[in-house]
Structure formats: structure tokens, C-alpha cells
Amino acid sequence: MERISTDLLVIGAGSGGLSVAAGASQMGANVVLLERGEMGGDCLNYGCVPSKALIRSAKTAHAMRHAARYGIGSVEPSVDYAAAKDHVQEVIASIAPHDSQGRFEGLGVRVIRETGRFVSETEVEAGAHLIRARRIVLATGSSPMVPPIPGLDAVPYLTNETLWDLRELPEHLLIIGGGPIGMEMAQTHRRLGSRVTVIEGAKALGKDDPELAEVALDAIRGEGVEIVEGAQAAEVRGTAGAIEVETGDGRVFAGSHLLLAVGRRANVDDLNLTRAGIETTKTGVKVDARLKTTNRRVYAIGDVAGGLQFTHVASYHAGLVVRSAVLGLPAKASTDHLPWATYTDPELANVGLTEAQAKERFGDKVEVARFDYDGNDRAQADRLTTGRVKVVVHRGRPVGAAIVGHQAGEHIGLWAFAISSKAKMQNVAGMVAPYPTYSELNKRAAGAYFSPRLFDSGAVKRVVRTVQRWLP
């Protein structure tokens, strides 16, 4: 067995692990990277990248059906599902070199393609290698959760990992789970030509601002997706091409394919964490504000850390760990400024506190500013007027924002920056945005916060009248 000593051992080559490995190695640390599966992790191979590529195919089909509103003849597209999946794989292949083993070895990282298991607090066994590290970073990500539904073990089903192997368009796709993955794939497959039924035990898109989530859900329903809420899947039965899901209230939903999208579970089972003195929780590895586990030499980042499960959060964690483990500088994680987006059409994006959360924290000292997309000239020109910007404000500073509408995921970045930099609403209102652009929406939302103070205030009007009398 080869014995290796290193400054930093990173377990997992997803977005977080790769960011740590690249940063640490380029700063001069000796780095070993373990990955038992595909380089690039879930995001590149099964998650963010392939789903957005297929969403683009579906948007193109949808645009062809609705071209008449722009003076172009609408046509029913000829959808080649297998070719759309080829497009997905081409996109993955175009990004893969950036995450490849060869690139990271070129950066000076020792890459070992094996499963790692702790054998002590500072040592990990990986195949024929025993690695002793001064610091270790767990970046093993998460996997699709498979719920214990009676009958599921006897019925073929898809997850976000296996969906990409499917080459024939489902006739009727049943989806258990109405979160971001479920709703994105529901709308996408409906636009590609499938019938789609979503079965959600609670509220679809339930983690988003409810006021704005309903706008997105109404649009998805309007395209023909059946969304059944408050319906727990109690039993699954059938065979390939003929599957039934029975809910707790006795309703039965029949379809040709079944997709499970009920959440994700942290990848911790094979790590032998107890040997390293690392505690876990129901959602992942127990970490403190510095992302350190109960073993002070070991960090956990991204999905496995049990918090927000987004690629950009893993990358954010990676930067903090490089600061701490490589440079020895203080670094603590915060979630207040971390945005997230769901890429339905319209898109739905959030950052910070919802209105309800802000009122719970700050009481009646919370104000809400809104501005609708139909008041934006670019949205009118594009005929994409379904949407709204909503900003939650405390003492003149934004503490949360939500956007539903075209490119909401792009526009939420301004509010994430405002919250992280502790900017005031007057800073956003004072921004000059080019005309006509969607970026004016955020400025107008900030303006809506000040409008009552300026135009409905008797004091302001009295001041203006006095000034006008004295002006030459």
C-alpha cells in the first residue's frame, strides 16, 4: 500500500471540492483529491448543467408554438427527444475539460479515483493508498432520496441521475415531488410533448416566497401540467410503461414513467465517519460556523454540510475553507446573502428572508416594496410581462428579495449584493440602469419603497410649496 502525506486531502470532485483543490494547489499547498465517480460531480453530470440544457430545448419548442404573438407563424415543433438528449451530452462534454482529471493534475493536484474511508482522525484509505493529511475537506455532495413508498422496489423509476439515460419521450410522466427539480422537469417535459402529473405531499415550490411561487405555478398549470398538492404517495404499482401512484386519500394517478424528485440525502454512508470522530445530523455532517466538523482537522462543504443544497453555495464554502485551511485566516459562513433560483418559466429566485421570516424576526418594523413586470417597457416589448419583484425591507435596508419572471435568476444578483454589502434602498434607487432593460425592474422596486414617502406625505408637499415660493 502506498503511503501519502499531504497538506490537504479533498474528498469529492464536485464544484466545491474542485474549487478547494484548485485554489489550495495554486497557492502552494500539497493537495490530494479523491473522486470515486465522475469528475465534476452531480452538477456537471446529472444536475445543473444537463437540466438547463434540456430546459433550453423545451423553451425552443415552446417558442415555436407561440411565435404568432411576434408576427411570426406558429408551428408545432417536431421534437426528437433522443436528439435533445444528445444536445445535453454535448453541453456536458464542452464543460468537462474544465473539471477534468488532466486539468487538475496540471495544477499540481494528485488525483486518485477511489472511494475514501477514514481509518483514523487524520488518515483515509483509498484503494491501494493510505493518505495522511494535515487538513481534510469533505465535499462528497448528495444523492437523490428514494422514499420508502410501498411497491416502489418493484417498479421502474427515474431520478435526476438516471433521467439522462432515457432516450424516448415519456407519454405521461408522473413526478413525485414538487420542489425545484420536480417543477423544472415537469414543465420541460410538458413542452417537449409529454403529459405530466406532479404529486406533492405539501405545497409545490414550498420553500420559496408563496406569493411569487404561485405566479410560477399558475403559469406551469396554464401549460397543461397537472399539479396535485397535499397528496402523499402511499403506494406505487405497475410495470414499465404502465405505472400507478395511489395517494393517501385513495386517488390513483396513472402514467408511463415515474420520476422521483422528493429531495436529496448527504453522501456520508461510506466514509466511516465515526472512526474519525465526526458527528452527523439528519441532514448531513455536523459543522460549526467555520464549516469545521467535530473533528477540528476536518471541514465539510456543500450539500454534505447539511444546509442549502446549491452549487454556488458549495463554491462559496470552498472559498471560506481555502481562507481558513490554507491561509490560516478566520472565516465564518453566513446564509443571509445566498440566493437561489428555480429555472421554470417564469423563473423564480430568492435571497435572504421571506416576508414571513422577516416579520417573525423584526416584528412590525418590516416594509415590503413591489414592482410588476408589466410596468417595464422591455418586458412589454418582449411580451414577457408575467412577473414581480418583491423586496423585504427593515430600517431602510433590504433583508430579503424574491423575483418571479423572465431571467429572475439573473436579476436576483443585485439584491444578493445589496444584502451582502449592507447597502440601503437609496443606493439601489440611485442606480442608473440602461433603457430599456429588465435591470430597471430592481431600480423601480426600490423606487416603489420611497414613493409613499415622497408623494403621499403632507410634510414633503409643504416643504415643496415653501421652496417654490422662495426660488427666484
Reading the block at residue 466, the C-alpha cell is 415653501
Q: 263 labelled as ligand-binding? A: yes
**Whats the size of the chain, residue-wise?**
472
Q: 23 labelled as ligand-binding? A: no
3-state secondary structure (DSSP) of residue 254: strand
Q: pTM value? A: 0.94
3-state secondary structure (DSSP) of residue 352: strand
Q: Is 94 exposed, middle or buried (0-12, 13-18, 19+ CB in 10 A)?
A: exposed
Does the domain at 2-39+100-143+265-326 match CATH 3.50.50.60? Answer given as yes
Q: 125 labelled as ligand-binding? A: no
Q: 178 labelled as ligand-binding? A: yes
Q: What is the pLDDT of residues 382-422, one digit of tens each?
A: 999 999 999 999 999 999 999 999 999 999 999 999 999 99
Q: 367 labelled as ligand-binding? A: no
Q: Report domain extents, the chain.
A: 2-39+100-143+265-326, 152-263, 339-455
DSSP letter (8 states) at residue 283: S
pLDDT at residue number 24? 98
C-alpha to C-alpha distance for 111 and 225, rounded to whole angstroms: 45
C-alpha to C-alpha distance for 281 and 323, rounded to whole angstroms: 25
Q: 108 labelled as ligand-binding? A: no
Helix, strand counts (H, E) of the chain: 14, 21
Q: 127 labelled as ligand-binding? A: no
Measured over the CA atoms of residue 412, residue 404, residue 335 and residue 31, the dihedral's sign is: negative
C-alpha to C-alpha distance for 80 and 56, rounded to whole angstroms: 14
Q: 206 labelled as ligand-binding? A: no
CA angle 388, 389, 390 (to 5 degrees): 115
Instruction: Identify the residue whose cell numbers are 386519500.
Output: 249
C-alpha to C-alpha distance for 106 and 31, rounded to whole angstroms: 12
Q: 27 labelled as ligand-binding? A: no
Cβ atoms 101, 39 nearer than 8 A: yes
CA angle 91, 94, 98 (to 5 degrees): 130
User: By C-alpha distance, which of 329, 332, 349 is closest to 341?
Assistant: 349
pLDDT at residue number 469? 77
Q: Is 467 exposed, middle or buried (0-12, 13-18, 19+ CB in 10 A)?
A: exposed
pLDDT at residue number 472? 76
- At residue 113, φ and ψ (nearest 5 deg) are -95, 75
Q: 116 labelled as ligand-binding? A: yes
Top-level class of domain 152-263:
alpha beta
Cβ atoms 344, 220 nearer than 8 A: yes
Regions in the chain scoring below 70 on pLDDT = 453-461, 463-464
- At residue 43, φ and ψ (nearest 5 deg) are -60, -50
Does the domain at 339-455 match CATH 3.30.390.30? Answer given as yes
Per-position DSSP letters for 13-45, written without gaps between them: -SHHHHHHHHHHHHTT--EEEE-SS-TTHHHHH
pLDDT at residue number 468? 76
Q: What is the pLDDT of residues 187-235, one digit of tens each?
A: 999 999 999 999 999 999 999 999 999 999 999 999 999 999 999 999 9
Reading the block at residue 249, the C-alpha cell is 386519500
Q: 142 labelled as ligand-binding? A: yes
pLDDT at residue number 184? 98
C-alpha to C-alpha distance for 279 and 267, rounded to whole angstroms: 14
C-alpha to C-alpha distance for 432 and 25, rounded to whole angstroms: 41
Q: 175 labelled as ligand-binding? A: no
Q: 409 labelled as ligand-binding? A: no
Q: 148 labelled as ligand-binding? A: no
Per-position DSSP letters for 321-340, written without gaps between them: HIIIIIT--------TT-EE
Q: 41 labelled as ligand-binding? A: no
Measure the N-to-C terminal CA separation of the chain; round to a whole number of Å.
91
Do the domains 152-263 and 2-39+100-143+265-326 match in fold? yes
Q: 177 labelled as ligand-binding? A: yes
Per-position DSSP letters for 234-284, written without gaps between them: EEEEEETTEEEEEETTS-EEEESEEEE-S-EEES-TTS-GGGGT--B-SSS
Cβ atoms 139, 222 nearer than 8 A: no
Reading the block at residue 383, the C-alpha cell is 411580451
Helix (H) or strand (E) holding 370: strand 366-372
Measured over the CA atoms of residue 193, residue 197, residue 200 and residue 206, the dihedral's sign is: positive
Half-sphere exposure of 294 (CA within 13 A, CB side): 12
Cβ atoms 181, 46 nearer than 8 A: no
Indicate the residue type of 97: P
* Percentage, residues of the chain above pLDDT 90: 94
